[in-house]
Structure 1
Amino acid sequence: MLIYLMALDTEEERIKFVRLYEEYRNRMHYTASILLKSEIEAEDIVHDTFLTLIDYLDRIDEKDSVGTWNYIVTILKNKCYNFLKRNKRIELTEDEEVFEQPVEMYNLLENQLIKEEAEEFLNTLIKGLKYPYREVIYLQYHNKLNSRQIAELLRTSPANVRKISSRAREQLKKGMQKKGYTCEYGF
Structure 2
Amino acid sequence: MLAFYMMLIDDEQNKSKFEQLYYEYRDRMMYVALSVLHNNEDAEDAVHNAFIGIAKNMDSIGEVDSVQTLSYVLKATKNTAINMLGKNKRYEAVDIENFDVVSDDDFFASLDVKERYDEVVNAIVNLDEKYKDVLFYHYVSDMPVSKVAELLGRKVSTVKQQLVRGKKLLIESLGANENDE
| TM-score, structure 1 as length reference | 0.53
Q: What SS does structure 2 have at the residue aligned with 1:7? A: coil
Q: Measured at CA, do residues 96 and 115 of structure 1 come closer, stay the same or move farther in structure 2, by a change above 3 Å?
A: closer
User: What are the superposed Cα offsets for residues 141-186 of structure 1, whole Å, 9 maximum, x if unpaired?
Assistant: xxxxxxxxxxxxxxxxxxxxxxxxxxxxxxxxxxxxxxx89799xx
Give % identity: 34
**Which structure's relative contact order is higher, taking Cα pairs within 8 Å and 6+ residues apart?**
2
Quick check: 1:45–1:80 contact (8 Å CA) kept in 2? yes
Q: What SS does structure 2 have at the residue aligned with 1:40? A: helix
Structure with the greater alpha carbon radius of gyration: 1
Query: Aligned equivalents of 2:45 and 2:142: distance in 1?
Result: 20
Residue 84 of structure 2 aligns with an amino acid whose one-letter code is: F
Residue 67 of structure 1 aligns with an amino acid whose one-letter code is: Q
Quick check: 1:35–1:106 contact (8 Å CA) kept in 2? no
Q: What SS does structure 2 have at the residue aligned with 1:8? A: coil
Query: Aligned equivalents of 2:124 and 2:3: distance in 1?
Result: 42
Quick check: 1:29–1:46 contact (8 Å CA) kept in 2? yes
User: What are the superposed Cα offsets for residues 88-145 of structure 1, whole Å, 9 maximum, x if unpaired?
Assistant: 36569xx9578459866522037439739x8xxxxxxxxxxxxxxxxxxxxxxxxxxx
C-alpha displacement of 1:54: 1.1
Residue 76 of structure 2 aligns with an amino acid whose one-letter code is: I
Aligned to 1:173: none
Aligned length: 120
Q: Measured at CA, do residues 23 and 64 of structure 1 come closer, stay the same or move farther in structure 2, by a change above 3 Å?
A: closer
Query: Aligned equivalents of 1:44 and 1:52: distance in 2?
Result: 12
Aligned to 1:73: 74
Quick check: 2:145–2:156 contact (8 Å CA) kept in 1? no
Which structure 2 residue ranges, 5 or more long, are not aligned? Answer: 91-117, 158-181
Please show how residues 1-187 of structure 1 align to structure 2 within 5 Å: 1-62=2-63, 65-88=66-89, 90=118, 99-100=126-127, 105-108=135-138, 109=141, 111-112=143-144, 115=147
Aligned to 2:95: none
Query: Aligned equivalents of 1:47 and 1:34: distance in 2?
Result: 16
| TM-score, structure 2 as length reference | 0.54
Query: Aligned equivalents of 2:84 and 2:156: distance in 1?
Result: 36
Query: Aligned equivalents of 1:102 and 1:82: distance in 2?
Result: 15
Residue 9 of structure 2 aligns with an amino acid whose one-letter code is: L
User: What are the superposed Cα offsets for residues 26-45 of structure 1, whole Å, 9 maximum, x if unpaired?
Assistant: 10001111111011111111
Please tell me the root mean square deviation across aligned C-alpha atoms, in Å.
3.5
